[in-house]
Amino acid sequence: MENHSAENGKQYALITGASQGLGKAFALELAKRKFHLILVSLPNEGLPFVANQVSELGQEAHVFETDLTQKENIVALANWVNAHFPLYVLINNAGCGGTQSFQDVSIDYLDRIIQLNIRATSLLTHQLLSNLIKRNQAFVLNVGSVAAYSPIGYKTVYPASKAFVHNFTRGLYQEFAGSNVFFSVVNPGPMMTNADSSARLQKQGLFASMGLLPPERVAEIAIRQLFRRDTLIMLNWANKLTWMVMKFLPVYIRLPLLTNAIKKEINRT
């Protein structure tokens, strides 16, 4: 049974990448569950609009606009949260990726994926842990990807970064087993968030587009399973099937299949 009673009557959840897509869906789902929100995103990404939607649901919405690829910004965010809010839920959702030839991308493109997907997730979790561990029960949800289950050409650094998120979370789950802080990872497949993502998925073929879920449904399932203390969250049959294929199909078969599918996205032949 879910029980999230707070010592002081208020429960705060922090979500990174909260201005759109899955992050926004997480925010609204938690607001419906009577959590107050700390919303984090890049400046000028529409975060106040999400805050207004949270307020309309009767919950507090605190906005912190910053670039989490910079270590000093992560520390500043954590210091602010630790000084002002009793944190019960942390959702490390902010992330980035893309599909390009490794030799064609800029060094800044590669560095941003590494800094946001790996360093920001690790450092923010570390800096907020002292806050979370003070609660009767607290939850950390890290957002990975089905890409975590296999290397993929033309994405290269992105699946490697998501494999880090997966293993990082699983390690923390074991390290803190029996404590009051519970760690979980969800590895969504592709989501139809906008016209651009729809077009890219159609180019990749059936395997990429099967079992698609809207962000709102992903958030609903992930939050429900998080509070049920499910440490590796599977979203639907397609998510489970993808995990099975990635786990048991030999890499020498899996790797060229995935790479050829992704290659279509950048119109290479």
Which tens digit of pLDDT belongs to each residue from 147-187? 898 888 989 999 999 999 999 999 999 999 999 999 999 99
Q: Which of 87, 85, 81, 182 is nearest to 141 (CA)?
A: 182
What are the tens digits of pLDDT across the range 24-53? 999 999 999 999 999 999 999 999 999 999
Q: The pTM is what?
A: 0.89
Average pLDDT over residues 183-198: 75
Average pLDDT over residues 215-228: 96
Higher pLDDT, 171 or 236: 171
Q: What share of the chain is helix, strand, coil (3-state, %, to 5)?
A: 55, 15, 35
Phi then psi dihedrals of residue 70, to 5 deg:
-105, 125
The whole-angstrom separation of Cα 206 and Cα 225 is 27
Phi then psi dihedrals of residue 191, to 5 deg:
-125, 140
Higher pLDDT, 62 or 9: 62
Model confidence at 202: pLDDT above 90: no
Model confidence at 269: pLDDT above 70: no
The whole-angstrom separation of Cα 180 and Cα 155 is 37
The whole-angstrom separation of Cα 114 and Cα 105 is 14
Q: Which of 204, 152, 4 is nearest to 87 (CA)?
A: 4
Query: What are the Cα distances from residue 63, in Å, to 20, 147, 179?
Result: 14, 30, 30
CB neighbours of residue 53 within 10 Å: 15
The whole-angstrom separation of Cα 54 and Cα 179 is 30
CB neighbours of residue 168 within 10 Å: 19
1 token code pair: 């049974």
- Partnered with residue 176 across adjacent β-strands are none
Give the strand order in the sheet containing 138-143.
61-65, 36-41, 12-16, 87-92, 138-143, 181-186, 232-233
The whole-angstrom separation of Cα 101 and Cα 103 is 6
Q: Are 113 and 161 contacting, i.e. CB atoms less than 8 angstroms apart?
A: yes
